[in-house]
Structure formats: structure tokens, C-alpha cells
Amino acid sequence: MGQTVRIPVNEPQRLLAVRSLSAISSSPTPELAALAELAKNAFAMPYAAVNIVDEDWLRIAGEAGMQLSECPRDLSFCTRVVFANDMVVVPDLEQDAELGAAPYVTGPPHFRFYAGAPLELENELVIGAFCILDRKPRLFTEKEAANLRRFARVASALLRLQKANFVMGLAESSLRTAAMTDPLTGFLNRSALDAIVDRALESALGSGQTFGALYLDMDGFKSINDTLGHHIGDEVLREAANRIRSVIRSGDIVVRMGGDEFAVFVPNPPNTEALVSVCERLLSAFRSPFTIEGNTILARLSIGAALAPQGGGRRRELLRNVDGALYSAKAAGRDCYVVFNPN
């Protein structure tokens, strides 16, 4: 039987703070476990823990002395700390009208004493408790209470640091992604060749898979910029990007190599015929005129293609062979594709 769950007045804000931690880790962290171990020894208790109380559940962020199961919020002693927004000390759990019937009191490990100090991720937002428990009833001195509050402050600081590191990691990842993204088309730019394409190529060939590459060049694009202006040319490139997206798979990698040139990398195509099929769909997509600000514009494709490892075991070699195939497609009259033949 659980205790009556009392909801703090700032529960919506408190839960937002709790949820901001959920992406960090759902399992105990070594730093908080080490802090719990220090508290267990300092207070000579059989158990110490750093617990987070979410909407329905108590989550263990670090514990020492024994391994307990996470439990519903209404069975958690730490729920009282969250509601009180202050330290809670229960000298004898068996004598408490509600907690005396709790499973950890009536059954193993038969706890009799509880003390918990609030964990604050943000000011006045208590997300859980740093708690210590004993199997026998005991008094808790003011000095011990002050020390438990200190442990809780250190645990709160560790949680804030973990959250900050996580957010900084997201920001760093976003900055890396932004640095590798072409703002006009939304595709990757050339800096992604080292960071993403090389890794994908090595992974594919290392596991015995194939890796396809296509080099796309829009025929007559320079004349569009020269006659209609760069802003029309930019709109053509945006629409070209949409047409490329409509043809490729979600796992394919597109890089804007510069100007009107794009490279499409195709992980693990079953054979050369699969690359030919992509080429044909791309050519078909670009044979429809572009309509930009009342202008009807033709900008078809020439495509070079190659399949690794036959077409090259490294990206530079693969792109060199693809570029040669593209040159052959242009020499053959454009609006066509040529597949590199290693023989």
C-alpha cells in the first residue's frame, strides 16, 4: 500500500526540470554512485542513494550499500522530500502512519530509519532526494543533518554539470552539422567528405559491402545565372535539391560539391544495375522544366557513376573515376549517364 502522493504547487515546472535530465542517462552514474558510497560510510548506514522523482516513478541516479529496485512514486520515501521542499527525517519508519506499511519496511531489507535532503536542479525546483537509510531506528543530530544537506548540494551540482555537458554536446554536434551543411540546398558540403563519406565508405568496404557514387552536373546552369541572375539560379538549385531528394533513398548521402555539381553516395547497392536505376530516375526528374518566377528553365543532368570497390577503394580514387565518367557523359551529348568500367 502506498502513501498519499502530495503534489507540490510547482509540479509542472519541477517536472520540466526532471525531464531535462532524462536524456542524460536512465542508469546510475559512477560519480553519483561514488558520492553515495562516501555518504554511506560517513553516516555508517547500510544504504545511501541519489534518487530522482518523476511524474510516476522514483529513478535511482546513484546508490551504495545494496542494489534496490526503482519503484512507483507513491511507494517512495523521497516523495515526501519533494513535497516538503526540505529535508525529511523519519527516526522510526514503523511508527509512521503511512510509511510503516511500505514494502521496504514490512519486508526486506526492513528499513527503520530514513533521512532525505532535497536535490535542486534549479532554484526551488526539487527533483528528488539524497537519502540515507538504516535497518534500525535512530536519532539524527543537527550536525548530521547539515552534512546530509552538503552531500545533497554536491549531488545537485553533479547533476547540473551532467546536464550542462549534455547540452554543450548537443550544441557542439549542431555546430558541426551546421558547418558541414550547404545553406542553400540543405545538403552536406565538401567538408563532409572527410567526416562522413570516408567513414561510410570504409565501413561498407570493411564489412564486404559495395558503395556507389554518382557525380551530377546540371547542363547549362551558368547561362541561367548569366541571363536571369543569381537569385533565379539559387531558386533553380533549391528545386534541383528537392528533385534529387525525391529520387534517392533516406540512407543515401548527398554532397553539394560546388556550384551546380552534386555527388550522391549510395551505401551498399546490390549491383551496378541499381546505380543505373538511380541515374535514370534522376535524369527523368530533371527533364521537366523548372518554373521560377514565370521563367521556364531547362537544366538537365549529366551523370557519372562508379561502384566501389571495383571503381576505387578510397574516396579520392572513386571520385576521380566518377568524374571521368561524367566527362564521358558530357562528351556523349549530355542528358545521359556513363558508368565507370574498370576493365
Q: Residues with Cβ < 8 Å from 206, sequence gap 6 or more? A: none
Counts for the chain of helices (H) and strands (E), in that order: 11, 13
The closest of 118, 104, 11 to 54, measured between CA atoms, is 11
Residues 6+ apart with CB under 8 A from 153: none
d(CA 66, CA 105): 15
- Other C-beta atoms lying within 10 Å of the C-beta of residue 56: 9
Residue 157, CA atoms < 13 Å, CB-side half-sphere: 7
Q: Are 58 and 52 in contact (CB under 8 A)?
A: yes
Catalytic site residue 56? no
Any idea which residue has 555518504 for its cell? 39
Q: What is the DSSP string of 214-225?
A: EEEEETTHHHHH
Question: Nearest CA to 43 among 109, 110, 116?
Answer: 116
- The answer for residues whose C-beta is within 8 angstroms of residue 46's C-beta and 6 or more apart is 40, 65, 66, 109, 133, 134, 135
Write down the catalytic residue from 252, 260, 323, 335.
260
Q: Which residues are catalytic?
A: 260
